Amino acid sequence: MRKKIIKTRKAPQAIGPYSQAVEAGGALFISGQIPLDPDTGKMVDGGIREQTDRVLKNIELILSAAGYRKRDVVKSTCLLTNMDDFQEMNEVYGAFYKEDPPARAAYEVSALPAGAKIEIETIAVKG
């Protein structure tokens, strides 16, 4: 099985030894995205709503760079530093995936890189 590394300057650059995304076996695996502004490399201002919105926009930029669309997303994993933020995150997430949302899991974790409140990893399959 071949793998193709996906890298775009339109989304935040990897801040460690990992790829933004890898395409393999007809699927796209997007690394966990935190709410970094791709233009500045800095965390966006605001709370969980603003952070979730930025993460989802970053995911969409990577999807596009790889030739995928939101409708191709089959699974998301959401990591939150505070499960009390779940409802607000869910509202932003639901507005992003209005139709046929992907399967999803959400977990509370003790901390995320750069002090982020949320990180989302994504799997997409062209259908």
What is the per-residue pLDDT for 15?
82
Q: Region 26-38: what's the mean pLDDT?
A: 97
What is the per-residue pLDDT for 82?
98
The phi and psi torsions of 105 (rounded to 5 degrees) equal -130, 150
Domains (ranges, CATH) in the chain? 3-125 (3.30.1330.40)
Judge contact between 6 and 93, C-beta under 8 A. Answer: no
Is pLDDT of 85 > 80?
yes
Is pLDDT of 127 > 80?
no
Which pLDDT tens digit goes with each residue over 3-28? 999 999 999 998 889 999 999 999 99
Radius of gyration of the chain (CA): 14
Band (92; pLDDT cuts 50, 70, 90): very high
What is the per-residue pLDDT for 24?
96
What is the Cα–Cα distance from 61 to 12, expressed in whole angstroms? 9
With 0.85 as the threshold, say if the pTM is over it: yes
Q: How do strand 27-33 and strand 73-80 relate by DSSP bridges?
A: unpaired
Which pLDDT tens digit goes with each residue over 41-82? 999 999 999 999 999 999 999 999 999 999 999 999 999 999
